[in-house]
Amino acid sequence: MVEEKKWDVIIIGGGPGGYTAALYLSRATLSVLVFAGVKAGGQLMNTTLVENYPGFKDGVMGPDLMMNMEVQAKKFGAEVRYENVTKVEMSGETKKVWVGEKEISAKALIISTGASAKMLGLDEEKLMGKGVSTCAVCDAAFFKEKITVVVGGGDAAMEDALALAKYAGEVYLIHRRDSFKASKVMQERVFGNPKIKVIWNSEVVEVNGEDKLKSIKIKSSGIDAGVDPYTTMSVDGLFLAIGHFPTTELFKSQVDLDEKGFLKTGITNGNAKLWLEGYPTMTSVSGVFGCGDVVDFKYKQAITAAGMGCQAALDAEKYLTGGTSSY
């Protein structure tokens, strides 16, 4: 079945990136359809108080912020559907998306499908927001004087440990090998911070707690025979910094992705041509733009996703109309 209406822009993703793009484009009087997916609102629907989104001096609950973003985009005419796009065809001038058998088309496409943090696979998701976190920048301030653990060995883990060291009483950095793959400068900062203690050659094998994180069990390798390799540690905060999966499966054969699967745009791949043409958020496919965590392998914040959503919207508007409306 083919939907007759051809939209100006289809946005795939109903998180801060997608809704901000929808707000700008609908306010510029373009017709906008947002596929917010079955996880409409995105990652912030899984958290409680967001204290670092500007404009809310006492913080704002994640779901409230997302509900408001959706309402604000709809106010200017954006249509939001809570369905997952199941197929795309992006190469032609007309961009086509499918939801099951239904085909819908647009003149431009914005991809803002986000990313999800890799987990340990120990059922720790049930304690997300109750001691377990995948974002130290977001949550470190909640752990003043507490005992915290970071898992990982890359730059993100170093950054998380350093962020936590500003607040927490104790920070343990657990890594499964005997050296980090993080950059030297980040490692030096970690080693130079008296609050951070590294636990090498060790893996978290159990995460315990019902309503709140209580303890973790660690298994260490390479220790003397006869010594119990398991240690149980009481902890208040467990921060996972073992990477992210960008949600790009749907697009992977049609658009350039980096080695970790993040969508490449002029902003992230340093493509000077796209900058010169005035489309820094365009992907390798003309008329297809990217924003938010699906592009951003570094910052992964609501405000950066929203900021990039604005950029993608302005680029898409320029692509469709030759200019940008006053804003």
Ligand X SMILES: Cc1cc2nc3c(=O)[nH]c(=O)nc-3n(C[C@H](O)[C@H](O)[C@H](O)COP(=O)(O)OP(=O)(O)OC[C@H]3O[C@@H](n4cnc5c(N)ncnc54)[C@H](O)[C@@H]3O)c2cc1C
The catalytic residue positions are 135, 138-139
Q: How far is the CB of 205 from ligand X (least distance, A)?
A: 23
Contact 289, 317 (CB under 8 A): no
Distance CA 32, CA 204 (A): 45
Asked if 290 touches ligand X (CB under 6 A), the answer is: no
Which of 134, 248, 265, 283 is the binder for ligand X (CB under 6 A)?
Answer: 134
Non-local CB neighbours of 77 within 8 Å, separated by 6+ positions: 26, 29, 31, 32
Q: Is 184 helix (H, G, I), strand (E, B) or coil?
A: helix
- Pairing, β 49-50 against β 60-61: antiparallel
Asked if 35 touches ligand X (CB under 6 A), the answer is: yes
Contact 149, 241 (CB under 8 A): no
Contact 207, 132 (CB under 8 A): yes
Distance CA 159, CA 193 (A): 12
Asked if 303 touches ligand X (CB under 6 A), the answer is: yes
Per-residue contact track with ligand X, 248 to 267, x per CB under 6 A? --x-----------------
Asked if 44 touches ligand X (CB under 6 A), the answer is: yes
DSSP-derived secondary structure for 93-108: SSEEEEETTEEEEEEE
DSSP-derived secondary structure for 267-323: HHH--HHHHHHT-TTB-SSTTEEE-GGGT-SS---HHHHHHHHHHHHHHHHHHHHSS
Q: How far is the CB of 16 from ligand X (least distance, A)?
A: 4
Distance CA 93, CA 45 (A): 35
Q: How far is the CB of 146 from ligand X (least distance, A)?
A: 17
Q: How far is the CB of 233 from ligand X (least distance, A)?
A: 22
Contact range with ligand X by CB under 6 A, out of 173-181, 191-199, 211-219, 290-298: 290-298
Number of residues located near ligand X, criterion CB under 6 A:
40
Asked if 16 touches ligand X (CB under 6 A), the answer is: yes
The two three-digit tokens of residue 59, written as one number: 């913080």
**Residue whose CB is less far from ligand X, 199 or 313:** 313
**Residue whose CB is less far from ligand X, 218 or 255:** 255
Asked if 240 touches ligand X (CB under 6 A), the answer is: no
Q: How far is the CB of 259 from ligand X (least distance, A)?
A: 20
Asked if 18 touches ligand X (CB under 6 A), the answer is: yes
| Interacting residue ranges for ligand X, rule: CB under 6 A | 12-18, 35-37, 39-40, 42-44, 46-47, 50, 52-53, 84-85, 112-114, 128-129, 134-135, 138, 247, 250, 292-294, 300-303, 305
